[in-house]
Structure 1
């Protein structure tokens, strides 16, 4: 395989892939995979955008764009401006909630990408 044909990392979409023996390696995140494993999930996953149209990726930091009333045992309100770090995208999450995150003061929850803004 020549350098021009090496696929980007399926975990982080980094273009710096290199070969190490029979595996492909991403130097940015350390992910290793077989060239035969590159055909599917990362390329087929839908693009998830925030409330203003920025593309989101796993590990991004976002802020809540508007106050959210929480349902469930705890209830309460998640205030606009709350910063959430290291999000995980879940395009097939429950009821359109496509972000899985650890929200400070509230714990793990699913959020909709339409109510967050990416932090630059």
Structure 2
């Protein structure tokens, strides 16, 4: 299974990614802004999702279509 970002670049465990769009986090009042750097991602069983930690939110799952490799 290969996981790719919005530009088609392959992602691996431990990579850093940048958001390409403002994202509202469900169940929280936090909005992740465009350009936010997220470090040390973890791949999941789904090739369109990654797990990460950002702004005091643990276990955050993001879709790869909103990310680009940093």
Q: TM-score, normalised by structure 1?
A: 0.53
CA distance in 2, matches of 1:117, 1:111: 12
Shift of 1:107: 1.7
- Higher normalized strand content (fraction of residues): 2
Shift of 1:60: 0.3
CA distance in 2, matches of 1:69, 1:107: 12
Higher relative contact order (CA 8 A, sep 6+): 2
- Higher normalized helix content (fraction of residues): 1
Q: Residue 10 of structure 2: SS of its match in structure 1?
A: coil
Shift of 1:47: 0.7
Look up the match of 1:89. Answer: 43
Higher-Rg member (1/2): 1
Runs of 4+ in 1 over 3 A off after TM superposition: none
Look up the match of 2:57. Answer: 107
Q: Which runs of 5+ in 2 are unaligned?
A: none
Q: Which runs of 5+ in 1 are unaligned?
A: 1-45
Number of residue-to-residue matches in the alignment: 69
Shift of 1:77: 1.1
